[in-house]
Amino acid sequence: MIIVLKPSTPPEQIQLFADKLCNDYEVKVNRWDGVHSTVLGLIGDTHTVDIEYIDAQDIVESVKRVQEPYKKANRKFHPENTVIKISDNVSIGDGSLQIMAGPCSVESEDQIVEIAKKVKNSGATLLRGGAFKPRTSPYAFQGLKSEGLDLLKLARKETGLPIVSEIMRTEHIDMFENVDVIQVGARNMQNFDLLKELGKTQKPILLKRGLSATIEEWLMSAEYIMAGGNDNVILCERGIRTYENYTRNTLDISAVPIVKKLSHLPVVVDPSHASGKSWLVEPLAMAAVAAGADGLIIEVHNDPPHALSDGAQSLTPEQFDKIAEKLVALKACLK
């Protein structure tokens, strides 16, 4: 951390400030006296240093971190990729491509079991399905809630596919005990109480990037979960808000190699929510694999025009079948 002090700060005040920093934090302070101002360089464990407190001091002109504020998610301190075991035969982060597929919302037993069987036959390795739905309108379908989770478990029993579903409230963590991957949706990426509670579990967490979150904010949310003791975090790029409105969101494909450089956590891409249009799912999914994603999460519905949510971006099982084959072939080429 670099602190530039205001010109003409009396030397004794500088010394007092430097001594206080050494006492309050586990850091060493280096000092450079220039012609007009003095610069302090903090070396050591600076992640607990309150940058706003420093900035508010009368003698401080400016302060800047030179190291990332996330530690546990940082590749610098954990150079090898994190591999997360989801079930006996599904792991993510080990160089394989994991394809999560299924409807936006679980709607009925027939719907989820039919889709689960079809996506499994096409090569999906996990089944997705929303039971608790964060909808923009309070009048839109809100999900089948705990019944939806039961139906997902039934579909898992029929197919053997591990299940992924979104949690919205801390109070529901017990209800998700038997769900293989707990999704934290874009709207909850900074629900810090939820992240802290999920940090006390050992569940794999699929952490979606917030609608307008920077990469650093997203990694800091992963850090919340990891700081509690749960290292099983999978990051999911699902498109961000930009001024472009042709697509539902803008897929930030560069986030994939950036996050893989900054962090050791596996990265998944959601081309369905990124685009909002089913015809764009294939090219975006291919781009994600080419960019190095460890997995994809894709919405598939047996009857998209009548889906209770996100029909426009949902693939039919037949469309998914063709795309999954191409994705697997592309992944093989890249190896």
Q: Of these, 118, 120, 203, 238, which contacts ligand PEP (CB under 6 A)? A: 238
- Applying CB under 6 A, among 84, 104, 226, 262 the residue interacting with ligand PEP is 104
Residue 264 binds ligand PEP (CB under 6 A): no
Which of residues 72 and 128 has its CB atom nearest to ligand PEP in the complex? 128
Residues 191-220: x where in contact with ligand PEP by CB under 6 A, - otherwise, as a string: -----------------x------------
From the list ligand PEP, Mn ion, none, which binds 238 (C-beta under 5 to 8 Å, kind-based)?
ligand PEP
Q: Does 270 bind Mn ion (CB under 5 A)?
A: no
Among 223, 252, 294, 310, binds Mn ion (CB under 5 A): 310
- Write the DSSP string, 180-220: SEEEE-GGGTT-HHHHHHHHTS---EEEEPPTT--HHHHHH
Q: How many residues does the chain have?
A: 335
**Using the rule CB under 5 A, is 104 a contact of Mn ion?**
yes
User: Please, which residue, 270 or 282, has the CB nearer to ligand PEP?
Assistant: 270
Which residues, in sequence order, are CB contacts of 176 under 8 Å at separation 6+?
149, 165, 167, 182, 203
Contact between 331 and 285 under an 8 Å Cβ cutoff? The reply is no
Relative to beta strand 38-44, strand 126-128 is unpaired
Which of 97, 186, 262, 298 forms a contact with ligand PEP (CB under 6 A)? 186
Provide φ and ψ at 94, rounded to 5°: -100, 15
Strand pairing report for 2-5 and 38-44: antiparallel
Confirm or reject binding of residue 234 to Mn ion (CB under 5 A): no
CB of 335 to Mn ion, least distance (A): 31
- Using a 10 angstrom Cβ sphere, with 0-12 exposed, 13-18 middle and 19 or more buried, the burial of residue 53 is exposed
